[in-house]
């Protein structure tokens, strides 16, 4: 019986040696854990630094023909970041595609990666064990926060999102955590009506700067954080907790 991916689809996978990753955080995880296995990645796969593989376009709109040209024995995709039609096209051309589910929590993300590496390579990466230990505990809530990820239009982190759980484990509750949408698009007036304890501004996907806080949220404390540490699930989680705790450390509590 074939193993199944996070969505329950059977995937023929056995120690793949030519992998194309369409998910930046998983690209980093594969590159660190299985050196030499990556044959291709998206233009947004920025880590590890100096990653030298073929590029296949963006996550939402990869160049499927380029992926096929690389003749991978596994493509890794994500249910939220990648389009189902691209996954279907690759599978129709005989390419095994392992689709990970968009994680709602840190443990969910790490469990998904643990199963991927165990199934594909019979591997338990050291960074994965370290990340599980580092993120096991949840701190008592001490602050509420608003977490924009884009402006023009404004987009914020909502319910059942990885970033919401990351901050919750640090004692920071997302004011949009109970919203019906995962990524709401409120007006700026609505955002300011929330009156959270602080605004968390990541540097990706939108590159927020020190001018964005006072300009858009006058009178509200804000912190700039590493967006990769807030939203990527992979080796970056080993350094993310300490990095985010430092950014938040002088506020509240």
Tens of pLDDT, residue by residue over 44-55, are 999 999 999 999
The residue among 244, 82, 79, 48 whose CA lies nearest residue 165 is 244
- Rounded (5°) CA angle 99-227-25: 25
Q: Is residue 11 part of a domain?
A: no
Q: Is the dihedral of CA 81, 187, 181, 113 positive or negative?
A: positive
The residue among 55, 8, 2, 6 whose CA lies nearest residue 27 is 55
CA distance linking residue 227 with residue 200, whole number of Å: 10
Q: Is residue 162 part of a domain?
A: yes
Tens of pLDDT, residue by residue over 72-93, are 999 999 999 999 999 999 999 9
Q: Is residue 244 part of a domain?
A: yes
pLDDT per residue of the chain (253 residues) written in tens, 0 to 9: 889 999 999 999 999 999 999 999 999 999 999 999 999 999 999 999 999 999 999 988 999 999 999 999 999 999 999 999 999 999 999 999 999 999 999 999 999 999 999 999 999 999 999 999 999 999 999 999 999 999 989 999 999 999 999 999 999 999 999 999 999 999 999 999 999 999 999 999 999 999 888 899 999 999 999 999 999 999 999 999 999 999 998 665 4
**What does pTM read for this prediction?**
0.92
Q: Is residue 52 part of a domain?
A: yes
Residues 149 and 243 in one domain: yes
H or E, element range at 148: strand 148-150
The CA–CA distances, whole Å, from 133 to 6, 27, 220, 237 equal 23, 22, 33, 11
**Which of 102, 121, 150 finishes a domain?**
102
Q: Are strands 198-202 and 222-225 parallel, antiparallel or unpaired?
A: parallel
* pLDDT at res. 251: 62
Q: Are strands 148-150 and 172-174 parallel, antiparallel or unpaired?
A: unpaired
* pLDDT at res. 253: 47
Looking at residue 211, which CATH number applies to its domain?
A: 3.40.50.1980
Q: Is residue 72 part of a domain?
A: yes
Query: What's the total number of domains in the chain?
Result: 2
**Which of 44, 76, 102 finishes a domain?**
102
Are 128 and 150 in contact by the 8 Å Cβ rule? The answer is no
Residues 146 and 217 in one domain: yes
* pLDDT at res. 59: 84
Q: Is residue 190 part of a domain?
A: yes
CA distance linking residue 194 with residue 175, whole number of Å: 7
Q: Is residue 54 part of a domain?
A: yes
* pLDDT at res. 213: 84
Helix, strand, coil shares, percent, the chain, to 5: 35, 15, 50
Q: How many residues does the structure list for the chain?
A: 253
Number of C-beta neighbours around residue 165 at 10 A = 21
* pLDDT at res. 252: 52
Q: Is residue 121 part of a domain?
A: no
- Rounded (5°) CA angle 6-202-185: 75
* pLDDT at res. 72: 97
By residue range, what is the domain housing residue 47? 19-102
Residues 239 and 150 in one domain: yes
């Amino acid at each position: 019986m074939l193993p199944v991916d996070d969505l329950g689809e059977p995937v023929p996978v056995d120690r793949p040696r030519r992998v194309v990753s369409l998910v930046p955080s998983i690209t980093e995880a594969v590159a660190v854990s299985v050196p030499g296995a990556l044959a291709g990645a998206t233009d947004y796969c920025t880590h590890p630094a100096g990653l030298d593989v073929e590029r296949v376009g963006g996550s939402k709109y990869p160049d499927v023909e380029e992926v096929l040209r690389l003749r991978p024995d596994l493509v890794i995709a994500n249910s939220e970041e990648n389009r189902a039609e691209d996954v279907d096209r690759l599978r129709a051309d005989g390419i095994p595609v392992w689709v990970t589910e968009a994680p709602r929590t840190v443990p969910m993300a790490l469990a998904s990666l643990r199963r991927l590496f165990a199934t594909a390579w019979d591997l338990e990466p050291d960074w994965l064990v370290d990340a599980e230990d580092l993120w096991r505990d949840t701190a008592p809530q001490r602050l509420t926060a608003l977490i924009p990820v884009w402006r023009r239009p404004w987009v914020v982190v909502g319910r059942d999102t990885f970033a919401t759980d990351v901050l919750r484990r640090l004692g920071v509750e997302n004011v949009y955590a109970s919203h019906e949408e995962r990524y709401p698009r409120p007006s700026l007036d609505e955002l300011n009506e929330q009156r959270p304890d602080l605004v968390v501004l990541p540097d990706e996907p939108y590159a927020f700067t020190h001018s964005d806080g006072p300009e858009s949220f006058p009178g509200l404390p804000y912190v700039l954080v590493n967006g990769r540490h807030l939203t990527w699930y992979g080796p970056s989680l080993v350094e993310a907790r300490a990095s985010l705790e430092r950014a938040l450390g002088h506020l509240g509590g």
